[in-house]
Structure 1
Amino acid sequence: MQEKQESQPKAAGSLGKTHPALKAFMCGSLSGTCSTLLFQPLDLVKTRLQTVQNNMHPGAPRVGMLAVFLNVIRTEKLLGLWKGVSPSFMRCIPGVGIYFSTFYSLKQHFFLDRAPRAGEAVLLGAGARCVAGLAMLPVTVIKTRFESGLYNYVSVFGALRSICVSEGPRALFSGLTATLLRDAPFSGIYVMFYSQAKRTLPQEVTSSTFAPLVNFGCGVLAGILASVATQPADVVKTHMQVSPNLYRNTSDALRFIYMEHGVSGFFRGAVPRSLRRTLMAAMAWTVYEQLMAQMGLKS
């Protein structure tokens, strides 16, 4: 009994000695797991909306979000809405962890004694997202192809092997520019609006028992604004990753989308993406901040 009692403080002490950046990684990974599982169907519908029109004959009526949603259920059953969830987990669990640990490290290094200003918050969020986006891009490519329904991949590793053999490793980094143009501004804009919205609220509100609800509300507002601003880059990214052989570079994809679909083509899938990105980011930040507070760390 005495040995058991002595082992408990030792275990607690070892957890306490964990590096703060690693704690941020664990908090971010857990928040990414929860949000990915809940909102994967919206991501799948968004991807289908952005690619389905290219496979239809000229003059065909546009397909809406509800039609895609019902078609997936009818042809692939309810679980078809979670197609691509495996690569989503492989991307988001470590990806969100990398993002938050990088964000925490940068914030502690540059803004230890004060809160970042609006412009600094943009750079802080964008910098952390660039690191995570570049590290997880190969998994993002596989995830996008899984969701498109245009490839018959059986598993994530099978898809990885197939792409490397048939297209070369370079295909795993297709859409890099568009991805960074989408993710870096999204994260930068999100962090700016999120932090500024929280700063306008009284300290009594942000530190009360309603803090999780306040954080989520600020996250929803920031997510909507950031999603709309970065939607065109998301459409370009999807096109380049699903059909890399059609485009030599980002400019080709931009030109093709504009000529085929006009300006509205850059906002295909905006509704499901905005819903998913907004709710996912709001939940991820809410869970992250609560877990960091439980660990006694300032997020």
Structure 2
Amino acid sequence: MAQQQQISLPAKLINGGIAGIVGVTCVFPIDLAKTRLQNQRGQQLYKNMMDCLIKTVKSEGYFGMYRGAAVNLTLVTPEKAIKLAANDFFRHRLSKDGGRLTVFKEMLAGCFAGMCQVIITTPMEMLKIQLQDAGRLAAQQRVASSVVTTLKMGGTSGVLSRSYNASQVTRVSAIQITRELLRTKGVTGLYRGLGATLMRDIPFSVVYFPLFAHLHQLGQHSSEDPSVPFYWSFMSGCLAGSIAAVAVSPCDVVKTRLQSLKKGANEETYNGVVDCVRKILKKEGPGAFLKGASCRVLVIAPLFGIVQVVYFVGVGEFLLGYTPYNIYSA
């Protein structure tokens, strides 16, 4: 038994890593739209998710929808591995002789998992947001420039449509951003918005993991056969992820605003979580906290559905020569 537990941890880390890569690749364009919708204030460049994606493709090309994907794909492997493996680890530690956990202990395990993952999540999100939002800021500058030029020439038509056919967005890499942050602010620069990230990820994990465990358990064939059809794992991940995503959407808006280093013209700067919340309420109203909520659900639902399918299929166990249900504990 001890040997199985020792080998199961690497297997779970492999599962989490593969699951994260597959999931992120599928839903990244929607995540980019979410970031840009959450960050825009004042002048509305994008009406909704589809409008954002269409304008992104027009101005930046197809691969513009994957700006920041390299950072996410690189760091999502350790992030998802830590998140999923930590939840399993703490569930195992909190259970008595493999017994069934109470809802409180399930929530506690999720809380600890959320705390562990921010080691990777915070710098990953920090870099990803800068790359994702670069196109929005460039588009905003082009619109402002077009407006000024048009006013000087005495015309007013076609400003917005022409702006999206302008020159390509200036490219900036994650390595450049990292070097600049380390040079000017040290390691702490990469962990800007840590409090807001904790404020989002801990409640998300507290809601998601217990809810998923109970939904997943409903799909078991019998107490003797704990296996679950892959489609049930997918649907359980989607539903639990959707509910958790909506619950913490306001925290995600605050986190995104705090981690955006560059601002557009006349856009607010924030000094911490409380200041950010206060200014958003004052300038944009309560509805601003739900900006990008539908996009976030469309990202999280399939992402965690895919993640759970890969995780519970047991790719890691297969690669290590073990079947998933011999070492699975839920």
TM-score tier after normalising by the smaller chain length:
0.7 to 0.9
1:21–1:102 CA contact under 8 A, matched in 2: no
Specify which of 5, 11, 17 is matched with residue 29 of structure 1.
17
Deviation at 1:200, TM superposition (A): 3.8
In structure 2, what residue type is equivalent to 1:231? S
Structure number with the bigger relative contact order (C-alpha 8 A, sep ≥ 6) is: 2
In structure 1, the residue matched to 2:302 is: 279
State how far apart, in whole Å, the 1-side matches of 2:36 and 2:47 are. 10
Cα distance in 1 for partners of 2:238, 2:252 equals: 19
Deviation at 1:101, TM superposition (A): 2.2
Pick from 229, 234, 237: which aligns with 1:211? Answer: 229
Give the corresponding residue for 1:4: none
The runs of 5 or more residues in structure 1 that have no matched partner are 1-14
Q: Give the aligned partner of residue 285 of structure 2.
A: 262
The 2-side partners of 1:122 and 1:172 are apart by 28
Off by >4 Å, runs of 4+ in structure 1: 15-18, 150-153, 205-210
Tell me the residue number matched to 1:47. 35
- Give the counterpart of 2:123 among 132, 135, 138: 138
Q: Could you say which residue in structure 1 is the equivalent of 2:112?
A: 127
* Pairing 1:1-299 to 2, within 5 Å after superposition: 19-54=7-42, 56=43, 63-111=47-95, 112-149=97-134, 150=137, 154-201=172-219, 203-204=221-222, 211-243=229-261, 246-291=269-314, 292=317, 294-295=323-324, 296-299=326-329
User: 1:19-53, CA deviations, whole angstroms, 9 ceiling, x for partnerless residues?
Assistant: 32122111110111100111111110000101122
The whole-number CA distance in structure 1 between the counterparts of 2:301 and 2:176 is 31
* TM-score, scaled relative to structure 2: 0.78
Output the CA distance in 2 between the equivalents of 1:205 and 1:110.
21
Between structure 1 and structure 2, the one with the greater Rg is 2
1:101–1:18 distance in 2 versus 1, CA, 3 Å: same
- Percent of pairs with identical residues: 23
**Equivalent-residue separation in structure 2 for 1:176 and 1:209 (angstroms):** 38
Deviations 1:180-229 (A, max 9, x none): 11111111101111112233445349958861111111111111111110
- Rate the CA distance shift 1:294–1:249 in 2: closer, same or farther, 3 A: same
- Structure 2 portions without partners, runs of 5+: 139-169, 263-267
Q: For residues 98 and 223 of structure 2, what CA distance do their matches in structure 1 show? A: 22
